[in-house]
Structure 1
Amino acid sequence: MTIDGAVRMTNVKNNIILALSRSGAAAGLIHPNGRVYHYGSRVEIQARHQQGNNKYAKMWYKGVSFTAEQCALVYLVDAAGTRTTTDTFLDMSQDFTLNVFYK
Structure 2
Amino acid sequence: MVLSNKNIDDHTIRKELRNLHRCPICNEKVRIGIEKSTLETLLQEEVFPYPHLHIHGNPLHGVLFYIDKDLRVRSCSAIKSLEFSRDSHTFQELLKKWSNPY
1 or 2, which has the higher strand percentage? 1
1 or 2, which has the higher helix percentage? 2
